[in-house]
């Protein structure tokens, strides 16, 4: 990301931080995550609509506790950490439920073609925790991966492997756990194949799986 864009985003986060103190409505979040929680790939803000409620709650707590967004190199995580600084548990509950229940907006990301290799890697190493349809599980606090765009997925896996997310020194047990798994993905090609497979899963089927 260009330096000027980054500064602009930090200023935006700071402004929103002040607004947040006057009571946070979803409009604060909509500035980056979209008015339907659909996400904004240009800003690096992931889709929240239809995400697992327990996972959303867990992440908001993790940002607040500095267990995510702790590394200055992680500009997106740092921004998100600033946003939640003045929010409390009641806000987190309200916001997490709001987004988890939000109907899926149209997916803007183009669908990619998954390969049999990507599918077998995903089903063999990820599905046990993220679900056969990558829908996530409440009891494991795992996210739905099928709603996320490829660039966000790629960045999170990079952050886990380089310790920007999930490091022993900062993260909670769930982040540390996922880091260990990300480190086991053997090659960049395997990672790409898994991401392509996730992007190939169609959203309407995911919506049905949750009903």
Which residue ranges make up the site for ligand HEC (CB under 6 A)? 9, 12-13, 16, 24, 28-29, 31-33, 43-46, 48, 56, 58-60, 76-77, 79-80, 83, 95, 125-126, 128-130, 140-143, 145, 148, 153, 155-157, 166, 174-175, 177-178, 181, 185, 194
Closest contact distance (angstroms) between CB of 175 and ligand HEC is 4
Q: Which of residues 93 and 209 has its CB atom nearest to ligand HEC in the complex?
A: 93
CB 91 within 8 A of CB 25: no
How many alpha carbons fall within 13 Å on the CB side of residue 158?
10
Report the candidate in 85, 70, 100 with the shortest Cα–Cα distance to residue 24: 85
Q: Which of residues 53 and 209 has its CB atom nearest to ligand HEC in the complex?
A: 53
Backbone angles phi, psi at 101, to 5 degrees: -90, -10
Closest contact distance (angstroms) between CB of 60 and ligand HEC is 5
CB 135 within 8 A of CB 209: yes
Closest contact distance (angstroms) between CB of 127 and ligand HEC is 8
- For the chain, the straight-line distance linking the first and the last C-alpha, in angstroms and rounded, comes to 38
Q: Which of residues 77 and 114 has its CB atom nearest to ligand HEC in the complex?
A: 77
Closest contact distance (angstroms) between CB of 4 and ligand HEC is 15
Give the separation between CA 44 and CA 1, rounded to whole angstroms: 10
Give the separation between CA 90 and CA 60, rounded to whole angstroms: 11
Q: Which of residues 26 and 209 has its CB atom nearest to ligand HEC in the complex?
A: 26
Give the separation between CA 98 and CA 75, rounded to whole angstroms: 26
Closest contact distance (angstroms) between CB of 25 and ligand HEC is 9
Q: Which of residues 50 and 143 has its CB atom nearest to ligand HEC in the complex?
A: 143
């Amino acid at each position: 990301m260009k330096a000027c864009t980054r500064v602009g985003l930090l200023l935006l986060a700071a402004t929103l931080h002040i607004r947040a103190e006057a009571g946070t409505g979803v409009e604060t979040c909509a500035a980056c995550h979209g008015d339907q929680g659909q996400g904004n790939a240009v800003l690096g803000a992931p889709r929240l609509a239809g995400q697992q409620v327990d996972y959303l709650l867990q992440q908001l707590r993790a940002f607040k506790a500095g267990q995510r967004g702790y590394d200055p190199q992680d500009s997106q995580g740092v921004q998100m950490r600033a946003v939640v600084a003045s929010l409390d548990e009641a806000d987190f509950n309200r916001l997490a439920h709001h987004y988890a229940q939000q109907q899926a907006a149209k997916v803007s990301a183009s669908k990619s073609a998954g390969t049999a290799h990507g599918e077998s890697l995903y089903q063999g190493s990820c599905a046990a925790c993220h679900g056969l349809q990558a829908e996530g599980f409440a009891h494991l606090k795992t996210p739905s991966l099928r709603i996320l765009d490829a660039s966000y997925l790629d960045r999170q896996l990079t952050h886990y492997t380089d310790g920007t997310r999930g490091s022993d020194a900062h993260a909670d047990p769930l982040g540390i756990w996922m880091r260990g798994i990300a480190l086991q993905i053997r090659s960049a090609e395997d990672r790409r194949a898994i991401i392509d497979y996730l992007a190939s899963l169609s959203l309407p089927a995911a919506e049905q799986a949750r009903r």
